[in-house]
């Protein structure tokens, strides 16, 4: 089984990225041949500062490794170290119907949030399809927000297969049921660019402040509260055991505990959860060349597969 996933260096990684994509990707690395890339071409649609982009790329690699990505099992690499994906994206764009891309939720959401409607942003799902298809991927661990992009990938693969014979495999999304859409401190989808994120490796004071500022309603302390509508409870459920979740649910429903106390419990859980990863991160940081050497090795492996697939594609379409 070949596993593929990517993450944008458009900012600092947050717990939505962790539970939506990184944790499942790390769990899958032992079950097949894994390719995980840092989507720097994609990030160009939103990051205009070259220095910041370079720093983000390095930091995403560092954080992913600290969280448990094992470079002996999974190839970790920069998207732009495999520029063949842009060639494949062009070939796919020649069969991609405009209407299919116009229906992209992510494109519409980004415009609604004030991003400029660039051709790159519009074409994002085509480049993502190329990212997936160029490695003959079987499984793509992603958050629910990316589900439509995987459907577009499959549609484009089918179009190529119908036109030129069987060129591509059809990949399947793998969406973590417990973390389909991790909410940010404002209750909306947690996102690097929405300013509602709790970062995986934020410092203690910052993280405590963020957790304490999670938006709640004004239900008084003594009154029962609805756990299913609470961001605090949803986030706590990601970190706690089944029994701890059941116990917090009961206290929500019973009343007598204020949101402030629940937030303190959430912070404790969250801070403890990432403690071993913070330690690992410090160890990696001690070896200045480690991250770069991992990325170089990963790119070599990714290029081997991408070159083989591109040879097949070029020959199929007549290039």
Site residues (CB under 6 A) for ligand AQP? 7-8, 10-11, 16-17, 20-21, 39, 46, 142-143, 145-146, 179, 181-182, 189-193
186 SS3 class: coil
Answer for the pair 238, 178: CB distance below 8 angstroms, yes or no. yes
Question: Among residues 200 and 310, whose Cβ is nearest to ligand AQP?
Answer: 200
| Other beta carbons within 10 Å of 41 | 24
Question: Among residues 145 and 186, whose Cβ is nearest to ligand AQP?
Answer: 145
Token pair belonging to 281: 């991160």
**Alpha carbons 184 and 171: distance in angstroms, whole number:** 29
**Alpha carbons 102 and 108: distance in angstroms, whole number:** 8
Nearest to 46 by CA among 140, 142, 114: 114
- Residue whose C-beta lies closest to ligand AQP: 20
Question: Among residues 187 and 255, whose Cβ is nearest to ligand AQP?
Answer: 187
Q: How far apart are CB 180 and ligand AQP at their closest, in Å? A: 7
Query: 255-263, long-range: CB within 8 Å, 24+ apart, which pairs?
Result: 255/221, 255/222, 255/223, 255/224, 255/225, 256/221, 256/222, 257/221, 258/221, 259/214, 259/216, 259/219, 259/225, 259/230, 259/232, 260/212, 262/230, 262/232, 262/233, 262/236, 263/211, 263/212, 263/214, 263/232
Token pair belonging to 295: 């990325």
Q: Which residues pair with 142 in a beta bridge?
A: 175
Q: How far apart are CB 6 and ligand AQP at their closest, in Å? A: 6
DSSP secondary structure letter of residue 19: I
Question: Among residues 118 and 253, whose Cβ is nearest to ligand AQP?
Answer: 118
Question: Among residues 193 and 219, whose Cβ is nearest to ligand AQP?
Answer: 193
Q: How far apart are CB 215 and ligand AQP at their closest, in Å? A: 15
Question: Among residues 146 and 237, whose Cβ is nearest to ligand AQP?
Answer: 146
In sequence order, which residues have a C-beta less than 8 Å from that of residue 229 and are 6 or more positions away?
Answer: none
User: Which amino acids are annotated catalytic?
Assistant: 110, 189, 192
């Amino acid at each position: 089984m070949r596993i593929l996933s990517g993450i944008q260096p458009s900012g600092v990684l947050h717990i939505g990225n962790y539970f939506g994509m990184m944790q499942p990707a790390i769990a899958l690395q032992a079950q097949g041949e894994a390719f995980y890339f840092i989507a720097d071409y994609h990030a160009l649609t939103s990051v205009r500062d070259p220095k910041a982009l370079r720093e983000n790329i390095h930091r995403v690699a560092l954080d992913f490794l600290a969280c448990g990505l094992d470079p002996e099992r999974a190839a970790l690499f920069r998207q732009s170290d495999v520029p063949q994906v842009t060639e494949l994206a062009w070939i796919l764009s020649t069969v991609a119907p405009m209407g299919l891309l116009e229906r992209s939720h992510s494109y519409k959401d980004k415009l609604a949030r004030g991003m400029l409607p660039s051709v790159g942003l519009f074409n994002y799902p085509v480049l993502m399809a190329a990212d997936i298809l160029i490695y003959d991927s079987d499984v793509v661990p992603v958050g629910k927000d990316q589900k439509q992009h995987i459907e577009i990938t499959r549609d484009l693969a089918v179009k190529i297969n119908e036109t030129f014979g069987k060129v591509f495999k059809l990949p399947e999304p793998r969406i973590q049921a417990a973390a389909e859409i991790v909410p940010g401190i404002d209750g909306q989808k947690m996102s690097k660019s929405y300013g509602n994120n709790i970062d995986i490796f934020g410092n203690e004071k910052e993280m405590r402040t963020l957790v304490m500022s999670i938006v709640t309603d004004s239900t008084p302390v003594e009154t029962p509260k609805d756990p299913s509508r609470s961001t605090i409870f949803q986030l706590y459920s990601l970190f706690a055991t089944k029994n701890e979740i059941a116990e917090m649910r009961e206290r929500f429903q019973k009343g007598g505990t204020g949101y402030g106390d629940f937030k303190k419990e959430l912070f404790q859980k969250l801070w403890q959860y990432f403690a071993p990863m913070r330690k690992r991160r410090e160890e990696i940081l001690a070896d200045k060349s480690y991250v770069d050497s991992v990325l170089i090795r990963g790119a070599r492996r990714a290029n081997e597969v991408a070159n083989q697939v591109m040879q097949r594609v070029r020959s199929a379409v007549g290039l």
